[in-house]
A and B are shown apart, each in its own frame.
Chain A
Amino acid sequence: MARIGKILRRTFLIGSAAIAGGVAFGVYYVNRPAPNPLKPGEGEAALNPFVLIDQNGVTLFAPRAEMGQGVKTTWAALIAEELDVDLDQITVLHGPAAAAYYNSALMGESLPNKGYDISDFQHNLGEALGVVGRALSLQVTGGSTSMKDGYERMREAGASARETLKLAAAERLGVDPTQLKTASGHVIAPNGDKIAYTELAADAATLEPVEAPLRDPSEWRYLGQSQPRLDMAEKATGTAEFGVDVRLPDMKFASVRMNPKLGGTMNGFDDSAAKTMPGVEKIVDLGNGVAVIANNTWLANQAVEAIDVDWGDAPYPPETDAIFASIAKAFDDSPNSTMRDDGDVDTLPEGATEITAEYQLPYLAHATMEPMNATALFTGTKLDLWCGNQAPTLIRMRVANVANLDTEAVEIHTTYLGGGFGRRGELDFGEIATKVAMTMPGTPVQTTWSREEDMRHDYYRPGALARMRGAIKDGKAVLIDGKVAAQSCTQQAVGRYTGLPAGGPDKVLVEGFFNQPYAVPNYRMSGHIAALDIPVGFWRSVGNSHNGFFHETFMDEMAHAAGRDPLEFRLELMQNEHAPSAGCLEAVREMSGWTGKTPGGVGRGVAFTYSFGTPVAQVIEVVDEDGTIRINKAWIACDMGLALDPENVKAQMFGGMMYGLSAACFGEITFSEGEVEQFNFPDYEAIRMHTAPQVEVRVLETNRHMGGAGEPGTPPSMPALGNALFDLTGERARSLPLINQFDILI
């Protein structure tokens, strides 16, 4: 365990030394096949961890969290493409928590390169690093990695299963496998006879799996084209099962209250009023919080609210201002990382004009539509946990520890997620539900957090500060010297997951900051870690969510100071640095009919962020309607390299943008007396039907490597909107949310 902890720590916060160690470790492990977690029953054949065939049909396993990004459909399409089954004739399940379902792409993302400029060698290195993900059994959905992760592995799983089925048919028919074809779940004999996979599966399972080359993309039937999502009918009819919808015989319902002074102790509580309230069956002392088990969630919640608790203080400054003063202090220390340091930023080039700006962004909650919850059944020797989650193997390890069981005695049942956005990669909701259920052995208990509990006990997107200094000369940026300061969500998360301290340069803190494809000769970008104990975590696009705003607002300020069109100013710096990125800017210029000029009452802004391997440009238009500002239109262009499902990519792009616009306009978590001041949606508004812009998305495919889709739409939305407001009003947004400064339609 100690060694794994060390590798985890190193590889999350990667330095060059760790790469070598990681690969070596991985090579050792990758040659040991992970055990197949599927345990076929009588008449069933599990051809590999992703394909199960029985007499009733074909079941594919897509062990990634379906949280809205369409992974279930596209992973199934990757397998089906090679297996030759029809998507509407198969069942797709998430499957158990298992080492075989490790994420091979997540670790590659932690390499300290810029991404857009990587060579094929580095790309391969990134793929090799994926084996570390396997060695650590990191079955994680995050980092916009699912397609990069599954692209080859899932097609290989399908191809291997297909060829093995053909071999079984060949033996039965006494012919050579090369004489056989496959289509729609059948092997087709030379004479045209068809044998269903379901009839061949038992024989195939006794054979050594056959390796097979992958088909040329020109032969694809599913990939590269949009597929109807497999979860759509369920989600349109209320039959999709989310964690909170799990219903088991004789189950009970619980509600929880943890210390609102986050991380503080519980000094004591008085439950005399709660005990006698209707429906109440049990009061649970969680040590650092209380829960009530009842016969109804609402009655449980009424009772838990009636408990009088004496909470200890939080381990961080109790007021927002003091918290940000503490973050600002991090600038006084030497940087944690300087991942870009080109030219000489200490000397102002002769004849250049210097520009400086400071920015401040708030803490943010994830605010998934489905509040945190989990259902646990503890028998004393076994634990079953049902929940939507982004990290089944990690949550299994955690709840096994809580219940003092081996991980083999714990089964994780992953449901649909009512939003993830990074929040459901945490382990707290599973841990709390386990502790609650352990007080009622043999009875399943569902613990649901109130919206208030959810909003006030998040792992927040860290509040962040930036100090930017730049120089322009002859209408061009010739120097950028940027510093960002924030808590490190990566270091904190490694500590939470492994119980070990983490160190080293944190790439996530500076992503979207140091790795943008602009050719600026003097360019230094540094990250400073603020030492604070506010719980922070991975919020859709993570470091890019603040750095995109810092970088692209400052680009706009420089363009304005240079008297240049902000789109042309960017394009000129990008053209020779990274053509796919420039292509995105050119695309939104064309789509929006960008002229650099807007009529009175209309403002337009542009921004660009390269993140998760995908360049994204956005133009946003705002209109002044009798003094109230409405976001009218948005144009998005992204370059995916390869878009496996273009319509789904579009949905992720505009959805990611809306998530960013919600934060930009209204999102802010503040603290008073150590407690989060926001309780529910009225305090933490979001974009709604009447405030959402019309949107047009263009998906390009010129980039050399496949990019992610779930997160890259978020970062450029916030600066594009701020820049549009500057165009409309002449006032610069240097902090968010915008509602504090502008009269935004709400």
Chain B
Amino acid sequence: MATTLKINGTSHQVDLPDDVPLLWVLRDEVGLTGTKFGCGVAACGACTVHIDGEAVRSCQVALSDVWGDVITIEGTGSPDSMAAIQQAWVDHQVAQCGYCQSGQIMQAAALLAENPSPSDTDIDDAMQGNLCRCGTYPRIRAAIHDAAAKLKEA
């Protein structure tokens, strides 16, 4: 039986077993590969997406349990029209290999939506589930502070 998902504002009919994680629906069925597979056990944050605005690990949400509208990195902005948080990533030259950054950005976007002026401790608390093996953390932190400032000006 097909399940209907609303992803980045578009409805998708998905014909896969109920227990397939949202991550693999997005990547292998819908073709949205910006959301990454890193560990499959919610230990790295590379698969972070928003469901009804909340940052979740899409590797842990079964297709039948998706409770609201899904926003992925592709729905957040595009190279020609970047969200403020993505522009901050570019301005601070954050990414190295870049594989974890979709998840980092989705986690950071959820943080800023909830807390427009995060302290370093707030950033530590919100971002510690997102692993980066290249060690880009100092620039991620700077980019989040910068995006917070720009969003307040806007």
- Contacts A237-B34, A296-B28, A369-B131; A694 near B138 (Cβ below 8 A): yes
Please provide the chain B residues from 114 to 144 with a CB less than 8 Å away from any CB of chain A in the complex.
Answer: 123-125, 127-141
| Shortest CB distance A354–B (Å) | 39
Q: Are A237 and B77 in contact (CB under 8 A)?
A: yes
Bound together, the chains give a CA A245 to CA B77 distance in angstroms of 18
| Shortest CB distance A106–B (Å) | 21
Bound together, the chains give a CA A651 to CA B136 distance in angstroms of 8
Q: Cβ of A116: which chain B residues have Cβ within 8 Å of it?
A: none
Interface centre among B29, B89, B96, B132 (most CB of A within 10 A): B96
Query: A239: CB under 8 A from chain B?
Result: yes
Q: Are B135 and A658 in contact (CB under 8 A)?
A: yes
Q: Are A238 and B33 in contact (CB under 8 A)?
A: yes
Q: Cβ of B10: which chain A residues have Cβ within 8 Å of it?
A: none
Q: Are B36 and A418 in contact (CB under 8 A)?
A: yes
| Shortest CB distance B111–A (Å) | 11
Nearest to B95 among chain A residues (CB) is: A235
User: Within the complex, which residue of A367, A418, A682 is in contact with B97, where a contact is CB–CB below 8 Å?
Assistant: A418
Q: Are A689 and B17 in contact (CB under 8 A)?
A: no
Q: Are A233 and B137 in contact (CB under 8 A)?
A: no
Bound together, the chains give a CA A691 to CA B97 distance in angstroms of 20
Query: A692: CB under 8 A from chain B?
Result: yes
- Contacts A688-B137, A689-B130; A238 near B35 (Cβ below 8 A): yes
Q: Cβ of B34: which chain A residues have Cβ within 8 Å of it?
A: 237-239
Of the listed stretches A224-232, A337-345, A549-557, chain B binds: A224-232
Bound together, the chains give a CA A612 to CA B124 distance in angstroms of 34
Q: Cβ of B128: which chain A residues have Cβ within 8 Å of it?
A: 688-691
Please provide the chain A residues from 661 to 693 with a CB less than 8 Å away from any CB of chain B in the complex.
Answer: 661-662, 680-682, 686-692
Interface centre among B43, B132, B135 (most CB of A within 10 A): B135
| Shortest CB distance A559–B (Å) | 28
Query: B100: CB under 8 A from chain A?
Result: yes
Q: Are B95 and A662 in contact (CB under 8 A)?
A: no
Query: A440: CB under 8 A from chain B?
Result: no
Q: Cβ of B28: which chain A residues have Cβ within 8 Å of it?
A: 253, 295-298
Size of interface on B: residues with Cβ below 8 Å to A: 64
Q: Mark B80-105, 1 if CB is under 8 A from A, else 0.
A: 00100011011001111111111001
Bound together, the chains give a CA A370 to CA B102 distance in angstroms of 13
Q: Are A690 and B125 in contact (CB under 8 A)?
A: yes
Nearest to B85 among chain A residues (CB) is: A236
| Shortest CB distance A370–B (Å) | 5
Query: B79: CB under 8 A from chain A?
Result: yes
Q: Are A237 and B135 in contact (CB under 8 A)?
A: no
Q: Cβ of A247: which chain B residues have Cβ within 8 Å of it?
A: 31, 33
Q: Cβ of B33: which chain A residues have Cβ within 8 Å of it?
A: 238, 241, 244-245, 247
Q: Cβ of A239: which chain B residues have Cβ within 8 Å of it?
A: 34, 74, 78-79
User: Within the complex, which residue of A226, A369, A695 is in contact with B132, where a contact is CB–CB below 8 Å?
Assistant: A369
Q: Are A687 and B99 in contact (CB under 8 A)?
A: no
Bound together, the chains give a CA A691 to CA B123 distance in angstroms of 12
Size of interface on A: residues with Cβ below 8 Å to B: 68
Q: Cβ of B23: which chain A residues have Cβ within 8 Å of it?
A: 298
Q: Are A229 and B138 in contact (CB under 8 A)?
A: no
Bound together, the chains give a CA A370 to CA B72 distance in angstroms of 18
| Shortest CB distance B154–A (Å) | 18
Bound together, the chains give a CA A722 to CA B14 distance in angstroms of 52
Q: Are B98 and A240 in contact (CB under 8 A)?
A: yes
Q: Are A229 and B135 in contact (CB under 8 A)?
A: no
Q: Cβ of A652: which chain B residues have Cβ within 8 Å of it?
A: 96
User: Within the complex, which residue of B16, B97, B137, B138 is in contact with A369, where a contact is CB–CB below 8 Å?
Assistant: B97
Q: Cβ of A70: which chain B residues have Cβ within 8 Å of it?
A: 96
Query: B113: CB under 8 A from chain A?
Result: no
Please provide the chain A residues from 233 to 258 with a CB less than 8 Å away from any CB of chain B in the complex.
Answer: 233-242, 244-245, 247, 253
| Shortest CB distance A253–B (Å) | 6
Query: A177: CB under 8 A from chain B?
Result: no
Q: Are B89 and A236 in contact (CB under 8 A)?
A: yes
User: Within the complex, which residue of B35, B74, B97 is in contact with A419, where a contact is CB–CB below 8 Å?
Assistant: B97
Query: B20: CB under 8 A from chain A?
Result: yes
Q: Are B97 and A232 in contact (CB under 8 A)?
A: no
Q: Mark A419-442, 1 if CB is under 8 A from B, else 0.
A: 111000000000000000000000
Query: B27: CB under 8 A from chain A?
Result: yes
User: Within the complex, which residue of B43, B96, B100, B137 is in contact with A692, where a contact is CB–CB below 8 Å?
Assistant: B137
- Contacts A67-B97, A247-B33; A688 near B89 (Cβ below 8 A): no
- Contacts A238-B35, A689-B127; A297 near B24 (Cβ below 8 A): yes
Please provide the chain A residues from 396 to 423 with a CB less than 8 Å away from any CB of chain B in the complex.
Answer: 416-421
Q: Cβ of B96: which chain A residues have Cβ within 8 Å of it?
A: 68-70, 651-652, 655
Q: Mark A52-90, 1 if CB is under 8 A from B, else 0.
A: 000000000000000111100000000000000000000
**Ranked 5 nearest A-B pairs via Cβ:** A238-B34, A658-B135, A418-B99, A235-B98, A68-B96
A residues whose Cβ falls under 8 Å from a Cβ of B: 67-70, 226, 228-229, 231-242, 244-245, 247, 253, 278-279, 295-299, 367-371, 416-421, 448, 450-451, 647-648, 651-652, 654-659, 661-662, 680-682, 686-692, 694-695
**26 A-B residue pairs with CB within 8 Å:** A68-B134, A226-B93, A232-B95, A233-B86, A234-B98, A236-B90, A237-B76, A237-B79, A238-B33, A296-B20, A298-B21, A298-B28, A368-B97, A369-B44, A371-B37, A417-B97, A420-B97, A421-B133, A451-B40, A656-B135, A680-B43, A681-B131, A682-B43, A687-B137, A689-B123, A689-B124
B residues whose Cβ falls under 8 Å from a Cβ of A: 16-17, 20-21, 23-24, 27-29, 31-41, 43-44, 46, 72-74, 76-79, 82, 86-87, 89-90, 93-102, 105, 123-125, 127-141
With A232-B95, A239-B78, A416-B97 already in contact, 4 other A-B pairs whose C-beta atoms are closer than 8 Å: A235-B95, A418-B99, A421-B133, A688-B137
